[in-house]
Structure 1
Amino acid sequence: MMKKLILALGIVLVLVNIAILFLDDDGRVGRTNYIHKWEQVTAQDVKETLTVPGVLTSAKEEPVYFDSESGAVSEMLVEPGDTVEEGADLFSYRVADYAKTYRELTASITSLDEKVMAVEQAISEAGESDFAAAAFSEDVNDPETIDESENEKDTDAASEALQQATEEQTTQLQEQYRISLEKELAEKNAELTAAEEQLAGLEETGEFVTVTSPSAGTVKSIDESGNKPVITLQSSDLVITGELTEAERKQVQNAMTIEAKLDDGPALEGEITELAEQPAATDGKESMYKFEASYLAEDEQANKLLAGYHLDTDILLAYASQAPTVKPAQVEDDQVWKMANGQLFTTKVGIGAQNDIQAAITSGLEAGAFLPANQGDYYQNEPFVTPWKAQQMNWSTWNDSFTSYEFLLGLLDH
């Protein structure tokens, strides 16, 4: 009889509690959140990218001009489809006026000498200056670039992350500038060598000048009718080209970093060099905007690449270095559930770079904080309990952390 009475009272007690919770629209009855799994916020590098299809194409079509007033073509030394190296002989012509041609070549050599010296000086100065750092210094110190936070540590962390990202951008900008200068120097040296060889040939023969290829590539076409250009070369240097939708075009800017992946082989790293302002022909469909990207590749790797190869191109939209990182699903309405001091509560966070598996936090949360592994609407701003995991207890110090009374209450909660 006593057992039946206890069972009946137990059932009544459970039903009463359920009714109280059901009717408690004002939240006056305290609730305890049960957190089955949780995880700690860690500092990670986060990349936000846009993946679009791309194809390798010739970097440029380079015309080789010939002015019929300078003379007449005497011999064509290449044919369409021929592959030529930089400096290879293309055609020769008989000069109409030796003295005039000699003066023009001499003046060209003098001008190119000065340009080569200027570029060499620029390369030397670029290695010693902090021109890029100065360009970013105002942004680093501008308070508007750092989200305000009630927590000073959050603000300091955001400032430090911004400073680190700025330093990386500065280094990248300096490297890009150095590469562009070295490329320009190589082009000017090639032009200088060609002009010197033409002058040497003119002095040797007294009437003929041989025109050489300004770059390595393939002869696309030849026009011997006397019109300009007489030869059109397709450069052997390749670039990545592709198209962006309207929505994608709004996200992409010139000089953004790219990483392109072939089916096999290492990724190609580079940057956006050309970005169309006007769409290609649409025919009533969605507008598409063309882009072009350069890349760096080792000689051995570059020799294996051919025009027409297709690849997936990742355009880096945003990057966060060693930022507090959570899963995107853990953020809802710019808030996350945070576990601290036995309480579960929401905290507002700022979101930076993010992808399918990572979201960088710019403010409101630090590395080391604890969050429920699965965020949900069923949580409330109330205390929380977690599963009893004896193997994770530090028994040597638990006596310093809890009183016996608190320990007993914890057991009862579980």
Structure 2
Amino acid sequence: MKKINVKGRIIGILIVAFVTTNAFLIFLDEGEQVDRKSYINEWSKTITYDLFKKMDTKAVFTSEETEPVYFNEDVGSFNEFLVEEGDTVSEGDDLYTYDVLNYYQEEARLEGEVSRLEEEIDAIEDFIDEIESYRVPDPPDTNDNNSSPFNNNSGTSDAPPPSYIETEYMKEEKMAEQETELAKQEAMLEMVEDQLDQLQDEGDRITVTSAFSGTVSEVSEDLESPLLTLESTNLVLEGTIPEQERKEIEEEMVVEIHVPELEYETTGTLTSVDDYPEEVELHRSSRYPFKVSMENPSEELLAGYHADLKITTDESLGVVTAVEKALETDENLYAWVMNAEGILERRDIETGIEEQGLVEILSGLEDGEWLAVEPKDEFRNEAIFFTPLHTDDLRVRQMFKMERQSILTYGLLGILSR
């Protein structure tokens, strides 16, 4: 008969009882009197970084400006076109001719147009002088906030005054706008004066010249209005965004541009965002038009090419950042911090912008702090943590090059510390 190993069975039972009892005591340890340890095999470090929030959308290249050219049949009879579709024209180039029906009536009309344009030019020049002479206050005087010639706000004086930089920018923007309008009116005046000179010199036939530089995109052979359509050679991007995203974008935001057709990438600026949708329908989301301008775009770009856009709607520069997977959500957002004392600490945090797995930390963490990532079931507040030993990082040979006395000293210190 086989002899039963009573001693072995007793030892086994004692081991199981010991483990079970300790596990049970830990389970009942509401006061956390038993030291617990957390094994961490993956961790991450907070860093200072620049984060950007971006919105993806699409747009198409089109001419920056379109100029229709009209012919009034009441002033004469059309003679001939002097341009064709696709022709490039500059200011002063001939477009078409017509024969005058009533010399004196047409002369009076052209003279009246000259006077009107001269008055408009004088008014624009006076406004430009007023803008140039305006001194931007620093700091701004809240009592004189509405005295600015380029302040378009019609609200009450309770509105906060714009900052110095904002006001200076508004001044420069209004100056550029008025100078563009002045150049346009001067070109129109030159065109009308040229027609008047032709009428007074020749008497019956007038050649209409262009007040616009661009390309002839349409010619109305049946003389329907507009007679000609001119488009500028400068390209802009036009697109629309849904109403859910309208409040997220505003003018002057930076835009990343990618043209798949050419594998071309550049940047631009959001120059306009409409406050009114293209169409209004009850059962359909409204879409709001926007425009993006570029500096020195590629000459290979053509009107009609499509582009993928990334609009930077928000940014946080030089902020404390953590990887997203190091953050936990219960009732509030928190992270497990591996502090310098070797203790795992649960800490509540507040976050901001998220970009490609990185999260802005508004409060709760500082730059250079270590965060536990995995395994999450090992995380316990105020527990001692330990991490794997990376033998590849150890300089084993140097350990054995130490003096015998040093090895003995450190060994004894290790034993005594236990």
State the match for 2:218 in structure 1: 220
User: 1: distance between equivalents of 2:228 and 2:23?
Assistant: 88
Q: 1:337 is matched by which residue type in structure 2?
A: W
User: 2: distance between equivalents of 1:408 and 1:113?
Assistant: 93
State the match for 2:344 in structure 1: 344
State the match for 1:185 in structure 2: 179
State the match for 1:34 in structure 2: 39
User: 1: distance between equivalents of 2:191 and 2:207?
Assistant: 9
State the match for 1:43 in structure 2: 48
Tell me: CA distance 1:279–1:205, structure 2 relative to 1, closer, same or farther (3 Å): closer
Tell me: CA distance 1:313–1:177, structure 2 relative to 1, closer, same or farther (3 Å): farther
Q: 1:220 is matched by which residue type in structure 2?
A: E
1:56 CA displacement: 1.7
User: SS where residue 328 of structure 2 aligns?
Assistant: coil
State the match for 2:327 in structure 1: 331
User: 2: distance between equivalents of 1:170 and 1:50?
Assistant: 29
User: SS where residue 265 of structure 2 aligns?
Assistant: coil
Aligned counterpart for 1:314 among listed residues 310, 314, 321: 310
Deviations 1:252-300 (A, max 9, x none): 445543222123223231115134643647796x5251432222221xx
Q: State whether residues 46 and 319 of structure 1, in contact with CA within 8 Å, keep that contact through their aligned partners in structure 2.
A: yes
User: 1: distance between equivalents of 2:168 and 2:49?
Assistant: 25
State the match for 1:54 in structure 2: 59
Q: 2:346 is matched by which residue type in structure 1?
A: T
Tell me: CA distance 1:370–1:132, structure 2 relative to 1, closer, same or farther (3 Å): farther
Tell me: CA distance 1:292–1:212, structure 2 relative to 1, closer, same or farther (3 Å): same
Q: State whether residues 113 and 192 of structure 1, in contact with CA within 8 Å, keep that contact through their aligned partners in structure 2.
A: no
State the match for 1:304 in structure 2: 300
Tell me: CA distance 1:98–1:181, structure 2 relative to 1, closer, same or farther (3 Å): same
State the match for 1:356 in structure 2: 356
Counting aligned pairs with the same residue, the percent is 22
User: SS where residue 117 of structure 2 aligns?
Assistant: helix
Matched, 1:202 2:196: yes
Q: State whether residues 198 and 209 of structure 1, in contact with CA within 8 Å, keep that contact through their aligned partners in structure 2.
A: no
User: SS where residue 176 of structure 2 aligns?
Assistant: helix
Q: State whether residues 50 and 316 of structure 1, in contact with CA within 8 Å, keep that contact through their aligned partners in structure 2.
A: yes
Q: 1:39 is matched by which residue type in structure 2?
A: S
1:322 CA displacement: 0.8
Tell me: CA distance 1:369–1:292, structure 2 relative to 1, closer, same or farther (3 Å): same
1:49 CA displacement: 0.7
Q: 1:339 is matched by which residue type in structure 2?
A: M
Which structure dedicates a bigger proportion of its chain to helix?
Answer: 1
Tell me: CA distance 1:210–1:279, structure 2 relative to 1, closer, same or farther (3 Å): closer
State the match for 2:159 in structure 1: none
Larger radius of gyration: 2
Aligned CA RMSD, in angstroms, stands at 4.3
User: SS where residue 214 of structure 1 aligns?
Assistant: coil
User: 1: distance between equivalents of 2:73 and 2:278?
Assistant: 38
Tell me: CA distance 1:86–1:270, structure 2 relative to 1, closer, same or farther (3 Å): farther
Tell me: CA distance 1:250–1:114, structure 2 relative to 1, closer, same or farther (3 Å): closer
Unaligned segments of structure 1, at least 5 residues = 136-168, 396-403
Matched, 1:102 2:102: no
How many residue pairs match? The answer is 362
Q: 1:380 is matched by which residue type in structure 2?
A: R
Tell me: CA distance 1:378–1:172, structure 2 relative to 1, closer, same or farther (3 Å): farther
Matched, 1:84 2:89: yes
1:114 CA displacement: 4.4
State the match for 1:258 in structure 2: 255
State the match for 2:366 in structure 1: 366
Q: 1:258 is matched by which residue type in structure 2?
A: V
User: SS where residue 264 of structure 2 aligns?
Assistant: coil
Tell me: CA distance 1:172–1:372, structure 2 relative to 1, closer, same or farther (3 Å): farther
User: SS where residue 380 of structure 1 aligns?
Assistant: coil
Q: State whether residues 54 and 312 of structure 1, in contact with CA within 8 Å, keep that contact through their aligned partners in structure 2.
A: yes
1:132 CA displacement: 11
Q: State whether residues 250 and 270 of structure 2, in contact with CA within 8 Å, keep that contact through their aligned partners in structure 1.
A: no
User: SS where residue 226 of structure 2 aligns?
Assistant: coil
Q: State whether residues 217 and 237 of structure 1, in contact with CA within 8 Å, keep that contact through their aligned partners in structure 2.
A: no
User: SS where residue 302 of structure 2 aligns?
Assistant: coil
Tell me: CA distance 1:132–1:382, structure 2 relative to 1, closer, same or farther (3 Å): same
Tell me: CA distance 1:72–1:171, structure 2 relative to 1, closer, same or farther (3 Å): farther
Q: 1:115 is matched by which residue type in structure 2?
A: I
Q: 2:215 is matched by which residue type in structure 1?
A: G
Q: State whether residues 38 and 373 of structure 1, in contact with CA within 8 Å, keep that contact through their aligned partners in structure 2.
A: yes
Q: 1:210 is matched by which residue type in structure 2?
A: V
State the match for 2:268 in structure 1: 269
State the match for 1:383 in structure 2: 383
Q: 2:48 is matched by which residue type in structure 1?
A: A
TM-score (structure 2 length as normaliser): 0.69
TM-score (structure 1 length as normaliser): 0.70
Deviations 1:130-155 (A, max 9, x none): 789999xxxxxxxxxxxxxxxxxxxx
State the match for 1:63 in structure 2: 68
User: 2: distance between equivalents of 1:268 and 1:360?
Assistant: 25
Q: State whether residues 113 and 192 of structure 2, in contact with CA within 8 Å, keep that contact through their aligned partners in structure 1.
A: no
State the match for 1:112 in structure 2: 121
User: 2: distance between equivalents of 1:377 and 1:183?
Assistant: 63
Unaligned segments of structure 2, at least 5 residues = 143-162, 400-409
Moved more, 110-119 or 349-358: 110-119
